[in-house]
Structure formats: C-alpha cells, structure tokens
Structure 1
C-alpha cells in the first residue's frame, strides 16, 4: 500500500467538550443480497448462498470521501494509475512505545477503512508514529471529550493534525471501482460464482462494453481467481452447458472444486457445474443410508452420485453429455469409488427404461422383511425433468404389489405465482397419477426474478408403475390441494 504525505502536518487545536460525534455511521457496509421470495404455502424453503459482488450502501455522511476520482468514469480499458487521489484525514502524533496501549481505548475513533493502515511512520520523527483517525468521527478535526480523556491518561497533547493520504487503485474495493467506472444511474454489480480458479458472470447488456475491465478487476481483487468468464448464451437443453467468453486471465477452464468434502475436476466450458447447488446436493445425500440404491438420471460430473457412493450406497449414474460422462468416470477414480458406481452415457429415458427398470425389477424381487434397501431416483434437469416422469408409467409392470417402490426427487423450474402447486400439478399430469398423499415440495433456490427452482419428492405410486390406473388416484386439475403435500423426512442442512 502506498501512502503520500504532505510536507508538513497542519495542526488544529479546536476542541469539543461533548462526547465523540456518532452521528456519522461507519461507511462501506457490504450487503450481499440473495433475491427471492417464499413460494407456495406448502413449500419447504431452503436457500443456498453463493459468492457475489455485493451491493454497497452509500455513505450518507460523505459518499465521495473514499470514491475513485471522477476521471475514471466511462473507462473501458483498465488504467490503474488513473485511480490515484489524495484525501485529508485526521491523525495523532504518538510515541511509538505506547501505540499498542492506546489503540484499544481509541478503537471506535480509528480509521474504519479496510485495507488502509491505521498506524504509519512519522516522516518527521522516527521515534513517533501517526495514528489515523476516522474523518467521520472527527468531522471538524477536533476531538470529543471521551477521546481527550483517553489522551490525557497517556499524557498525549490533544492535538489533531491534517494528513494527506494518497489512495491508489489498491485502496478501492471491487464494487467501488465498478460504481465509479460504469455509467451513473445504471446497475453496476452482478452476481458471479466461483468455480475453482474461475469466476463466472452473467453480465447485463449495459455492462458488456466494460466486460474486459470488469474481468480484470475481479482477478485483481479476488486472490486465487485467475480466469473470468461471461456466459454468452442460455444453457443448452441437451448437454446443459453454455457458450462463454473469457474476459480476463488464462483461457484454461479445466478446474478443481471441492464441495461437501468431495473433490471434483471438470472442464467448465464443456460440462454443467453450479456451486449454488452445494446445499441441495448435501440435502439429498443426507437422506440416503448405507446399502441404499441411487439412480442418478442426469448425473453430470457426479455431485449426487459420488458422495452417495462414499456413503456406501450402490449407485447407477447416467449422463447424455459425453464430456460429463468422461469427467464422471474421472471423478469416480479421483475419489476412489469406481467400484461402487456403474456409469452410463445414454438418454435419460433410455436409462430409465433400461438399466433402472432392470435393476429395480431384480431388487424388488429380492426384498425381504428383514432387508429392504431404499431406492432413490434423482432427476436434476429442471428445464425438462418433469417430462421424463412419463417413463415411469408401466415401468415395473408385473412386479408384486407391496414392494417398496423408489422415491423420486424431480427438479423443475417454475414462474408460477405458486411454484410448489405448479410443479406438483405438472408432475401429476406427466406421471398420470395423483401424488396428493405421497409427495413433498422443497424450494431449492431463486434462479431469476419470478423463477424458482423446486424439488418434488414422492414415492412412486404403485398403479402407474405396475401398469394400472385407479380412478380414485387419477390426477385432477379441478380440485385444489387439501393442505400441504406430506413431508418425507427430508432434513434441511
């Protein structure tokens, strides 16, 4: 950190007898906002946190004090030297031997700016130090009564000096730089997620002219981030990946991430990975017990499958994307669970009607009263998964009634005012059976304004799965739900 100083310190001797001014609150509070609303009345709500560029609450006392200079407005190519500016702050001259004892009683009056030193060398006296004070607490460069009492105890003259403090690019926070550079009156912050060494953004149209500057500032202000990318298209509905542009840093997008004590490696440009689903992955795995069987229809690189295998479950994992399948196999070896996971590279319907049907048919026949492992089917393709529920009709035709049918965890997006009700009714229509008595709906996260990601969990009804249809259980869009769907014991971390 560089500090400039004036040729001499200007001393002031204006004292106040009142207590230290507290009408100027500490500035630069950071507020990370996670937009969203509570969905339908019978939804179980759990939000996931994720890394963001937080909003800044403006300093009401002097919003310009720590702001970058006006000349950086409109900058599209980063010029770090242009951010230099000098501000005047109050300081106390103190003998270096008593600095440690003085700081604690003055802690509420010290400079509150993160990243700036509170104690610096005195350019005129090697035996003294300059203690930086908060200009908002000492607005007229005069000390209050409480500060004077503290100084009196240490035999320090209550003299406040003015000090020229040079701020540089390194002095400013990420959001402050972006607020100073981008056009006034427009949104300047944008959520981004961290995937290993990669920062992933979804920039708005008005931010695109500044995208390369934004990318470089993110690298500068976030240790460990060496590549910044911006999504340039919607997620491909087939392989669940999207096109992206590297804004700054290295173009290598093969990265390593750790989630819920499990390590994954992946090529972020070719497979789907969302760090905001960490809590949801953990929630589902928590439902499983050793010996259970998990069928992961859209497995990706393994965030459900691998932790389940580490929990000594038998796992059948599938993904249509050849790249996801390759990285799934790689991560199985990386986590030493290759012998517990059988991996497939096929369409989700073919996986359900082939390996899932075959394994379920065998497993249900072998069930005994003493040994009834639970079967779980995870379908995490929220844009399309509800359509795949039709594959469960007649899936187990011929199986004996009374068998412990699998529990399905199906994900979906909803823009409906009551997303839980919407997802439930759409699932019934696709499945061709009522889920009134056997399902629960869990709110996973808010994806965008008025767009929720939901998880519908239900035990597969016997009639459609075994090849029958009961009029009493047929779905109806005329009857509203009678209270909340039944919870199935899901524990929320």
Structure 2
C-alpha cells in the first residue's frame, strides 16, 4: 500500500510473486518502475500512483462483467442443490415402494460427502485481485495503523477463493504503549476481533520508541458475506 521505490515489492517479485505496488508519491512510483526494469521483474509488478485507500478499494472491486458471471454460476449451483434435494426426497419416497437402488445410490453419495467435510483448495496464480491475494504489506509505521479501516467490508466473500489475506502493518510503539493497546486500536478500526496477532520487533528508532510489524489474518467478520435467497 505504501510501496516507495520497491524495497518490499522488488524482492517479492523476484520470488515470482505477482505484486500490486502503490505509492502516493509519483517520484517513488517512477523509481519503482526503474528498479523493476533493472531487476527484470516488470512482468510481476503492477505499479499504481494513488491514495492507499482508493488503491485497495479499486483492487478489490469486482468488475460488472465478472460479478454477473459469478452470480449466474451461484444461482445455477443453488438451483442444482434445490433439485438434488427434490430428487433425494423422491428417491426416499420411491424406496418405500421397493426401489432400493435409488436409496443405495443416495446413501452412497451422502456417505462419501461426509468423509470430506473440509476440502483443502489450491488457489491458482491469478491476476484477479478481488478473488485472492495472500499478503498486504503496510510499511508506513507513522500512520499505517490508521489505514486499517479500509479493510472493513473490503472482501466480498462470495467471490473470494481460498484463505483470507495476511495483513502486515508496521507501527511505532512508545514506552507508554503496549502491544495490547495497538491490537485494541487495530480491532476498533477493523470493527472485528483479531485472532492470534503476531508482533515482530523491527528496530529501535529512539530510546523510548521501537518499530514493530503487526501481522494477522484478516478476520472473517471484516468481510462482506452475501447469500442468494431468491432463485
């Protein structure tokens, strides 16, 4: 979100990550592109020059064409689910009249499904940022914490694939502050509880002031959950 000239973006791109890098300073973005060219990672970096909140909002906005495709797929899937339930009830009623084959098939499907309640999914490399990103780096310790409110309702769960992203927010902690107070402020901005926050001490910047990186997985409560209720 605050990419600068690329101290985080370039190494990530060198590890074959697809990186969306943004900075409000146009000179930083210009040198970011030069660094990407020097390090031969142009194809893996998309550079932007805008406000960090607008950048994240646009990155997670589902294009109208894509949303129609997904909504159509969800409706079709929901209709199939309803039809399966109708068929299942029909099979059960038929079983009372001696149609045991249908009952055996229905039970076999249910038994197989019950063994796979939690299926691990693999998310493929994609440039559809509204479907999946792994990490968000907020390396502006003086004010990054105040930008956490952008994640409130940012992810639309019905379009998302795989696990929710990890947020890495850099911040300063002074002698009269604690890690708990930082987490409390972050939760207030997110309007959601952070589960298992991780603090990494980066360096001391003054006798009573240290830089930390707060890492946590975006809470489910911070997402937009939409369900299809009508067919």
Structure 1 CA distance for aligned equivalents of residues 5 and 62 of structure 2: 24
| Number of residue pairs the alignment of both structures matches | 165
Structure 2 CA distance for aligned equivalents of residues 330 and 400 of structure 1: 34
Q: CA shift at 1:402, angstroms? A: 7.8
The 1:371/1:353 distance shift into structure 2, 3 A limit, reads closer
Alignment partner of 1:431 is 2:183: no
Structure 2 CA distance for aligned equivalents of residues 358 and 327 of structure 1: 30
Structure 2 CA distance for aligned equivalents of residues 401 and 306 of structure 1: 26
More strand by share: 1
Q: CA shift at 1:371, angstroms? A: 3.3
Contact 2:157 2:223 in 1 (8 A): no
1:132-175 Cα shifts (integer Å, max 9, x gaps): xxxxxxxxxxxxxxxxxxxxxxxxxxxxxxxxxxxxxxxxxxxx
Aligned to 1:451: 209
Structure 1 CA distance for aligned equivalents of residues 121 and 60 of structure 2: 22
Pick from 362, 366, 384 the counterpart of residue 143 of structure 2: 384
Structure 2 CA distance for aligned equivalents of residues 390 and 333 of structure 1: 33
Normalising by structure 2, we get a TM-score of 0.65
Normalising by structure 1, we get a TM-score of 0.31
Aligned to 1:453, the other structure's residue is in SS state: strand
Pick from 157, 167, 172 the counterpart of residue 408 of structure 1: 167
Pick from 335, 339, 353 the counterpart of residue 39 of structure 2: 335
Pick from 307, 322, 339 the counterpart of residue 26 of structure 2: 322
The 1:299/1:454 distance shift into structure 2, 3 A limit, reads same
- Output aligned runs, 1:249-268, within 5 Å: none
Structure 1 CA distance for aligned equivalents of residues 124 and 220 of structure 2: 17
The alignment yields a C-alpha RMSD, in angstroms, of 2.4
Alignment partner of 1:370 is 2:122: yes
Aligned to 1:452, the other structure's residue is in SS state: strand
Aligned to 1:347: 51
Structure 2 CA distance for aligned equivalents of residues 417 and 358 of structure 1: 43
Q: CA shift at 1:383, angstroms? A: 1.1
Structure 2 CA distance for aligned equivalents of residues 386 and 467 of structure 1: 25
Aligned to 1:350, the other structure's residue is in SS state: helix
Aligned to 1:460: 218
Aligned to 1:336, the other structure's residue is in SS state: coil
Q: CA shift at 1:401, angstroms? A: 7.8
- Output aligned runs, 1:253-332, within 5 Å: 297-332=1-36
Q: Which has the higher contact order (CA 8 A, sep 6+)?
A: 2
Ranges in structure 1 where 5+ consecutive residues have no aligned partner: 1-296, 469-493
Aligned to 1:186: none
Contact 1:401 1:462 in 2 (8 A): no
Structure 2 CA distance for aligned equivalents of residues 455 and 358 of structure 1: 30
Structure 1 CA distance for aligned equivalents of residues 161 and 19 of structure 2: 24
Contact 1:378 1:410 in 2 (8 A): yes
- Output aligned runs, 1:195-234, within 5 Å: none
Ranges in structure 2 where 5+ consecutive residues have no aligned partner: 71-119, 126-132, 227-231
More helix by share: 2
Contact 1:299 1:305 in 2 (8 A): yes
**Quick check: which has more Rg, 1 or 2?**
1
Aligned to 1:396: 155
Aligned to 1:429, the other structure's residue is in SS state: helix
